[in-house]
Amino acid sequence: MQISMTAQKSFGAFTLSAEFTASGDRVGIFGVSGSGKSTLVSMLAGLVEPDSGEIILDGECLFSSTSKINLRPEQRRIGMVFQQHCLFPHLSVSNNLLYGFNRCPPQFRNIDFNMLVDVLQLKGLLDRGVTRLSGGEKQRVALGRAILANPRLLLMDEPLSALDDGLRFQIIPYLKSVSERFGIPYLFISHSLVEMRLMTDTALVFEKGRLVEQTTGEQLARNRIGKSQVGYINLLKLGRPSPASSLYSYPWGNSRLLLSAVSDNEEVLAELSSKDIILFKNHPVAISARNLLKCTVRSIFDSRGTNGIELDCSGNTLISEVADDAINELEIAKGNTVYAAVKASAFRLPGFRPSGKFIS
């Protein structure tokens, strides 16, 4: 997919100037509230008319103020999934899905209904009314309805922000696999750095209606450590835990970690903030933190007022952050050894309570 936009739109004192070219199948739009993300996608979908400019999608002109072109939303074949899933409350899951299929022009109806139901794991829910679904199930139905219309581009405007942490991490694999499986590229809008990293390859960053950066989700998160209250969120893929005294021991690549939280899953994504990793120059004699990892410094990078430290922990990667003084005192330099201490309680397992009960 390739999008070229040179479109402007003003609402009173606010002006969105969307000037960019982006290609790839997983493009992100990142920005704080009010930066113009929704206006941008509404212009793409044909729901808001730009004051001036041009919008080209895969070589086709969707809008041009000079050539007086403005394709209607249904002519653009762009699907949308919003934070609010906007399902038809009086229809069953099956009929909500078929609404998407029926909206698709006959010559483009080549998404297999049963395959989609399988991928989204909706089989057991087809006859149920949508008012009797959980938030995550509703979002899967909304996604299925949008996909069945076989759009050439799917716009997802903060589709996860109404969901709690547990559901959010359950939905992300569906969003990705549906797009891959059916070959539908997407534009993913969010103000979450974690979602940008998990969902996109390229991220366009908007501030006050202007594009200020075009980067990767990973780079975006690393560049903002010093600006973020929660720091950089390390995402650690952990295997099935086994009890270890009052804690739980999880496989993490070639090593193991002790956590106070437990999950029942085969694999789980744990969050660990860069702020919760304490570095030592030498092996400490005795500490209360239950994880002490011998690491090699891979790189040091400046991140808006703090120093990001990329660590190699037996082949796994961790990002920590330290102040300037600490760099000198610990003699942190590329290739040096440091010891990283992490408390067992510092890890977050989204959707799981410390007691180990899954939040449904």
The residue (of 144 and 209) whose beta carbon lies closer to ligand ATP is 209
Counting beta carbons within 10 angstroms of the beta carbon of residue 327, is it exposed (0 to 12), middle (13 to 18) or buried (19 or more)? Answer: middle
The residue (of 212 and 333) whose beta carbon lies closer to ligand ATP is 212
Stretch of 26-34, 52-60, 307-315, 344-352 lying at the interface with ligand ATP (CB under 6 A): 26-34
The residue (of 34 and 183) whose beta carbon lies closer to ligand ATP is 34
| Distance of closest approach, residue 29 Cβ to ligand ATP, in angstroms | 8
Amino acid letter, 249: S
Figure out which of the listed residues 14, 88, 280, 358 binds ligand ATP, where binding follows CB under 6 A: 14
Rule CB under 6 A: say whether 51 interacts with ligand ATP.
Answer: no
Rule CB under 6 A: say whether 49 interacts with ligand ATP.
Answer: no
Beta-carbon neighbour count of residue 112 at 10 Å? 12
Binning the chain into helix, strand and coil, the percentages to the nearest 5 are: 30, 35, 35
| Residue 248 and residue 257 in contact, taking contact as beta carbons nearer than 8 Å | no
Figure out which of the listed residues 3, 27, 30, 36 binds ligand ATP, where binding follows CB under 6 A: 36
Rule CB under 6 A: say whether 17 interacts with ligand ATP.
Answer: no
Rule CB under 6 A: say whether 190 interacts with ligand ATP.
Answer: no
Rule CB under 6 A: say whether 358 interacts with ligand ATP.
Answer: no
The residue (of 31 and 308) whose beta carbon lies closer to ligand ATP is 31
Q: Report which of 171, 170, 169, 166 is spatially closest to residue 156, judged by C-alpha positions.
A: 171
DSSP label at residue 151: -
How many residues touch ligand ATP under the rule CB under 6 A: the total is 11
Figure out which of the listed residues 38, 96, 200, 223 binds ligand ATP, where binding follows CB under 6 A: 38
Tell me, rounded to whole angstroms, the distance of Cα 202 from its chain centroid: 12
Rule CB under 6 A: say whether 85 interacts with ligand ATP.
Answer: no
Rule CB under 6 A: say whether 33 interacts with ligand ATP.
Answer: yes
Q: What is d(CA 50, CA 10) in angstroms, rounded to the nearest whole number?
A: 8
Q: Are strands 291-303 and 306-313 parallel, antiparallel or unpaired?
A: antiparallel
The residue (of 31 and 144) whose beta carbon lies closer to ligand ATP is 31
Q: Is the dihedral of CA 107, 181, 124, 357 positive or negative?
A: negative
| Distance of closest approach, residue 189 Cβ to ligand ATP, in angstroms | 7
The residue (of 38 and 307) whose beta carbon lies closer to ligand ATP is 38
The residue (of 209 and 217) whose beta carbon lies closer to ligand ATP is 209
What secondary structure does DSSP assign to 192-203, as a single string? Answer: -HHHHHHH-SEE
| Distance of closest approach, residue 187 Cβ to ligand ATP, in angstroms | 13
Q: In DSSP terms, which residues pair with 131 in a beta bridge?
A: none
Figure out which of the listed residues 7, 27, 31, 262 binds ligand ATP, where binding follows CB under 6 A: 31
Q: Looking at the chain, how many residues does it have?
A: 360
Q: What is d(CA 225, CA 218) in angstroms, rounded to the nearest whole number?
A: 11
Q: In DSSP terms, which residues pair with 15 in a beta bridge?
A: 10
The residue (of 6 and 10) whose beta carbon lies closer to ligand ATP is 10
Q: Report which of 283, 354, 293, 285 is spatially closest to residue 320, judged by C-alpha positions.
A: 293
Contacts of 198 (CB under 8 A, 6+ apart): 172, 217, 235
Stretch of 36-44, 85-93, 239-247, 271-279 lying at the interface with ligand ATP (CB under 6 A): 36-44
* Positions that interact with ligand ATP (CB under 6 A): 11, 14, 31, 33-39, 191
